[in-house]
Amino acid sequence: MIKGKGVSNGINFGNVVLLKKEELKVEEFKVDDRQAELKFFQTTFEQVVEETKQIAEKSSGTEKDIMEAYLAILQDPTLIMETQNMIQNEGYNAGYATKVGFNTIIQMFKAMDDSYMAERSADIEDMKNRIIAKIVKKESVNLSHLPENTIMVARELTTSDTAKLDLKNIAGIITEIGGKNSHVSIMARTHEIPSIIGIENATQILRDGDFIGIYVDGDQGEVYLNPTEEELSKLKQLKDEIMHEKEALYDFKKRESITKDGHRVELVANIGVPQDANLAVENAAEGIGLFRSEFLYMDSETVPTEEEQFESYKVVVEKMQGKPVIIRTLDVGGDKEIKSISLEKEANPFLGYRAIRICLDDVALFKTQLRALLRASHFGNLAIMLPMISSIDELRAAKRIIKDVENELDQKGIPYKRDIKVGIMIEIPAAALIADHLAKECDFFSIGTNDLIQYTTAVERGNEKIAKLYTKYHPGVIKLIKFAIDGAHKNGIFCGMCGEAAGDSYYIPLLLGLGLDEFSMNPSKILKARKSVCEANFEECKKLAEEILSMASATEVEKRLKEYGNTK
Ligand code: PEP
Ligand code: MG
């Protein structure tokens, strides 16, 4: 058995598909039969065009846009002119001619003044590699079409790899590097795909076609290569148990989120891409508490246009049929890199140029998103959430820009939701400490524990070496959560939470007791969380919260909350 770090729970079986990203070696030689070589090139090229067409037809959203842009380039006859000439007139082999011919075009695009056109050179590079891979018969894995029960094994899965993944056929994911909060890990949790990171040399130990069992429970990730009969039956039994537990939760789809003594809260979903709204509906979410809009920017080589963003936001608000949909404005920087927005390397990116700081600086970028958000607000119950707010001045500045955009839309007669709610993330200790001031000038809070924990305890959220110190049970973190909730309530606004802690069954009684109004989590956690709420007694949770607030040690807090949860 091979161990790694679990990032998405579950048990599954399947066959390994290795994603190898090797350099393609192209030899240079002359051919005898130029016509046959030309035909070979043309047939290979047609295959790439046909595959791209098929992917474009089957995909949606940003991926469809990317594929359609690829197609437009592929259909331009000048793209392959140089390559064909090199084969026909000079007798070069197809692989070498493709390399040189396409490189000429790539250089031309790179030299263009228009930054959009210059960026297309990366697309042409991608196409060149796909054609060459076919020619040298080293076709890389087609991530959009995977065999059933694929266990994807890779050194790393980037955001754009993740965007392409054929999710219905993936039984598990194993990578050598990655983080619990990387795009692929969040996506795996959303889609309930067991996933393990940190298995050194996984791409060497595991081979294409190997049969494996993957088991993830919390941080514990186990890979069973060619499992024995005994291992197989143990894993199957565990899988059945998990299945039954899940089925037992189906009843909670119809239940309201009310404690035994009548205290109502809202259980809503965190999503990353518009399609995830389907999972929110399937799991009976009462709305969307966090739409991480930066994922739209991550899936694309270029910053998404106002129109593209508008379509994505509109799809979600319409899907949620009047239920609240909180969309967070761009939260880039820190651990979130986006190809289309190049940020300078910083010594301390988590404390640096990120999120609202970038948006207040690059007002055009911010306004494009705000226009898309406001226009989409006309089609449902949309609210805007600002990330990484640390001061009242930032909140005021952001609200001024929102007002400007509203005025611009008014002048053009474009409709939007007049009383649109503007809320903020409480994920910086300074914001929690001035929560009562901030609450006077916004419509809601959502506590981002993922960042709040790291900034309060000075423990980086993705650093494995100090992972033990990264804890939501730290009394300092809990005090700040209380500050935020009290600040909100004193000023008559609601306080939610969209950090991972909101979906933790052991933590929910404490959050109920502290008075949290809205719990936003991975869609797959909602039914279990509703069970915890329905079985809780609000008055008892308040007493529990008081007891916890008097404690000094994170270990004691954790022990007490687990003890409490296990007696329920
Ligand atoms: C958080 O910080 O808790 C949060 C929800 O935001 P993200 O994880 O996207 O930084
Ligand atoms: Mg955050």
Name the residue among 288, 353, 234, 274 with its Cα closest to residue 522: 288
Distance of CA 216 to the CA centre of its chain: 20
Tell whether ligand 1 has an atom less than 6 A from the beta carbon of residue 336: no
Tell whether ligand 1 has an atom less than 6 A from the beta carbon of residue 528: no
Q: Is 427 annotated as a binding residue?
A: yes
What is the rounded distance in angstroms from the CA atom of residue 471 to the CA atom of residue 474?
A: 6
Torsion over CA: 453, 458, 462, 468 (sign): negative
Looking at residue 190, its pLDDT comes to: 83
Q: Which atom of ligand 1 is nearest to the CA of 449?
A: 3
Tell whether ligand 1 has an atom less than 6 A from the beta carbon of residue 427: yes
Looking at residue 526, its pLDDT comes to: 97
Q: At what angle do helices 34-58 and 61-74 cross, to 10 degrees?
A: 160
What is the rounded distance in angstroms from the CA atom of residue 410 to the CA atom of residue 431?
A: 32
Mutate to test the pocket of ligand 1, among 271, 292, 350 (most ligand atoms within 8 A of CB): 292
Strand partners for 518? 266, 496
The tens place of each residue's pLDDT in the chain, 568 residues long, gives 899 999 999 999 999 999 876 656 788 899 888 998 999 999 899 988 887 887 777 777 666 777 787 788 888 888 899 999 999 999 999 999 999 999 998 888 888 877 777 767 777 887 888 888 878 765 567 787 899 999 999 988 876 677 778 888 999 999 998 777 666 887 888 889 999 999 988 998 999 899 999 999 988 999 999 999 999 999 999 999 989 988 999 999 999 999 999 999 999 999 988 989 999 999 999 999 999 999 888 766 688 999 999 999 999 999 999 999 999 999 988 877 777 787 888 889 899 999 999 999 999 999 999 999 999 999 999 999 999 999 999 999 999 999 999 999 999 999 999 999 999 999 999 999 999 999 999 999 999 999 999 999 999 887 777 888 999 999 999 999 999 999 999 999 999 999 999 999 999 999 999 999 999 999 999 999 999 999 999 999 999 999 999 999 999 999 999 999 998 7
**Amino acid of residue 104:** T
Two structure tokens written together for 391: 């001061």
Looking at residue 300, its pLDDT comes to: 66
Name the residue among 558, 564, 552 with its Cα closest to residue 468: 558
Q: Which atom of ligand 1 is nearest to the CA of 446?
A: 5
Torsion over CA: 549, 461, 324, 508 (sign): negative
What is the rounded distance in angstroms from the CA atom of residue 171 to the CA atom of residue 191?
A: 10
Looking at residue 22, its pLDDT comes to: 62
Ligand 2: centre distance to CA 162 (Å)? 21
Q: Which residues of 270-304 are buried (b: 16+ CB within 10 A; e: fewer)?
A: bbbbbbbbebbeebbbbbbbbbbbbbbbbbbebbb
Q: What does each C-alpha distance from 362 to 178, 308, 356, 561 come to in angstroms?
A: 30, 19, 10, 44
Cite the DSSP H helix spans in 473-507.
475-490
Residue 179 DSSP SS3: coil
Q: What does each C-alpha distance from 82 to 2, 87, 98, 391, 446 come to in angstroms?
A: 50, 9, 8, 57, 56
- Supply the residues annotated as catalytic: 183, 498
Looking at residue 76, its pLDDT comes to: 86
Ligand 1: centre distance to CA 499 (Å)? 5
Ligand 2: centre distance to CA 186 (Å)? 13
Tell whether ligand 1 has an atom less than 6 A from the beta carbon of residue 522: no
| Contact between residue 28 and residue 250 where contact means Cβ atoms under 8 Å apart | no
What is the rounded distance in angstroms from the CA atom of residue 227 to the CA atom of residue 212?
A: 7
Tell whether ligand 1 has an atom less than 6 A from the beta carbon of residue 294: no
Q: Is 451 annotated as a binding residue?
A: yes
What is the rounded distance in angstroms from the CA atom of residue 460 to the CA atom of residue 512?
A: 27
Q: Which residues contact 465 (CB under 8 A, 6 or more apart)?
A: none
All domains of the chain in start order, with CATH: 2-18+141-249 (3.50.30.10), 34-135 (1.10.274.10), 255-566 (3.20.20.60)
Q: Which ligand number lies closest to the CA of residue 328?
A: 1
Q: How many CB atoms lie within 10 A of CB 408?
A: 14
Nearest CA owner, ligand 1 atom 3: 448
Looking at residue 121, its pLDDT comes to: 77
Ligand 2: centre distance to CA 521 (Å)? 13
Q: Which residue has the tokens 């910053």?
A: 303
Tell whether ligand 1 has an atom less than 6 A from the beta carbon of residue 499: yes
DSSP, residue by residue, 290-319: EEETHHHHHT-SSPPPHHHHHHHHHHHHHH
| Contact between residue 517 and residue 289 where contact means Cβ atoms under 8 Å apart | no
| SS3 track for 126-153 | HHHHHHHHHHCCCCCCCCCCCCCCEEEE
Looking at residue 489, its pLDDT comes to: 98
Total residues found in the chain within this entry = 568
Cite the DSSP H helix spans in 15-114.
34-58, 61-74, 78-90, 94-110
Tell whether ligand 1 has an atom less than 6 A from the beta carbon of residue 498: yes
Q: Is 410 annotated as a binding residue?
A: no
Q: What does each C-alpha distance from 430 to 168, 302, 388, 485 come to in angstroms?
A: 43, 34, 10, 14
The model carries a pTM of 0.75
Ligand 2: centre distance to CA 322 (Å)? 26
Looking at residue 415, its pLDDT comes to: 98
User: What is the signed CA dihedral for 65, 66, 72, 73, rounded to 10 degrees?
Assistant: 160
Mutate to test the pocket of ligand 1, among 185, 451, 519 (most ligand atoms within 8 A of CB): 451
Looking at residue 462, its pLDDT comes to: 74
Q: Which ligand number lies closest to the CA of residue 450?
A: 1
Looking at residue 219, its pLDDT comes to: 82
